[in-house]
Structures are given as C-alpha cells and as structure tokens.
Chain A
Amino acid sequence: GENVEQHPSTLSVQEGDSAVIKCTYSDSASNYFPWYKQELGKGPQLIIDIRSNVGEKKDQRIAVTLNKTAKHFSLHITETQPEDSAVYFCAASPHTDKLIFGTGTRLQVFP
C-alpha cells in the first residue's frame, strides 16, 4: 500500500552545521510533498512544500529537493540554530486530500 519512509529517526548536529532528512514514497501518483515541523506540545506546522513539477524549492535556510524518478525527496536546513530543534515530518499526497506521513525525525541542534 501507500507508504512513506523517513530517515534518520534522530539527528544531532552542532549549531551552524547543516541537517538533511530524507524520505522515500511508494505511490508514483504522489504529486505534493509537504514538510512539517512539530515543536514540543504543539501540532505540526507546515514549513515548506514542493509539487511534482518542481525539482527544488528554497525558503531562506530551508530547502526541499525532489527526485520523482527515484521517488525521493529531502529537507535541507543550513546554518542550523537551537530553535530548529523539533520533530520533522515529511508527507506525500497520492491523491486529492490524502496525506501519507513519514515516521518523523527528531532533530537536536546543540549550541
């Protein structure tokens, strides 16, 4: 069935370093790929998204890349800061109104 795999499950980086989280999806019909950030005690919040007709999208320190052939997409955070520490979820949309979430990555940024 529809599935999104996310790696790594935990990631620790030094402040200022880059962080990369990778996801793989199974349904080739997926055409929308959002990334959510979940801070402690809060619901997930959309931080960036990409559609299947685009290979890369950037918003300040955050970028997402998509390889439709390989069914991979990745989140890149540059110049990490302690406030980037959170759980990050990727998701893929195989059809209208449906989101399949990855299992999450706990990112810790150490000062």
Chain B
Amino acid sequence: EAQVTQNPRYLITVTGKKLTVTCSQNMNHEYMSWYRQDPGLGLRQIYYSMNVEVTDKGDVPEGYKVSRKEKRNFPLILESPSPNQTSLYFCASLPTSGGADTQYFGPGTRLTVL
C-alpha cells in the first residue's frame, strides 16, 4: 500500500531535549516536505527536499533541521525544542519535482513541548 508514515504519532517532551520525528514514503517520490499545522494558521511549510542530499527552507524553518540521505526518508530534527514548537506536524511527498500536484500527507505527529 502506497503511504507516508510518521513516527512517533504523539510526543510530549521538555524544552531543550533534542528530538527527531521520522518520515518515510514507499512511493519512490523525489520530493518530500514538512509542514506544521496550527489553529487559525493552516499548514505552513518548514523544509522541503527536491531529492537526495537536496534540502531547502520553507516559510518557517527556524528551530528545525532536516536531512535527506535516502530517497524514502526525510527526518525532522528539533535540536533544542521550545514551547512555541508545540504543534501538529505533517510530512508529505510528491511524485515528481516538476509541479505541486497531489501531495500525499502522512498521518501527523502531535508534539507538545513543556
């Protein structure tokens, strides 16, 4: 089954404790992206990757890092989480890098930073 998976689905942590949210897709998609969803703000792009070893900042990249060592995986790293990073995070992938068609979203990771 074609899908985007994220782990963990729920995470409660404390300020400053490094964490990683994993994202994996089994569709051989070149393009992957991370979004955060906050009430009243919709989805905002954090980082995206056009292909392996190619990453770029989205609209709200501060406080986040990403890496793309393999095509299928695109982890989101919070080196020193802060309470304002409490949010619902979505990973997404796209079949090609040639157009913003049909992004496939993962199920989401709800992060709480105390």
Contacts and interface: CB of A to CB of B under 8 A. Distances in A.
A98 B100 CA distance: 6
B48 A97 contact: yes
B112 to A, nearest CB: 16
Contacts of A44: 43, 90, 105
A97 B99 CA distance: 5
Given A43-B108, A103-B40, A93 B100 contact: yes
A101 B43 contact: yes
Contacts of A6: 42
A29 B35 CA distance: 22
Given A45-B105, A97-B31, A97-B94, A32 B100 contact: yes
Nearest to A94: B100
Q: Choose among B40, B41, B43 the residue with the greatest number of A CB atoms under 10 Å from its CB.
A: B43
Interface string A80-111: 00000000010001001111011110000000
Interface residues of A, number: 23
A49 B101 contact: yes
Contacts of A34: 100-103
B81 interface: no
Interface of B: 4, 31, 35, 40-45, 48, 50, 90, 92, 94, 97-103, 105-108
Interface of A: 4, 6, 9, 32, 34, 36, 41-46, 49, 89, 93, 96-99, 101-104
Given A32-B101, A93-B100, 19 more contacts: A32-B100, A34-B100, A34-B102, A34-B103, A36-B105, A43-B90, A43-B106, A44-B90, A44-B105, A89-B42, A97-B48, A97-B50, A97-B94, A97-B97, A98-B45, A98-B100, A99-B103, A103-B40, A103-B42
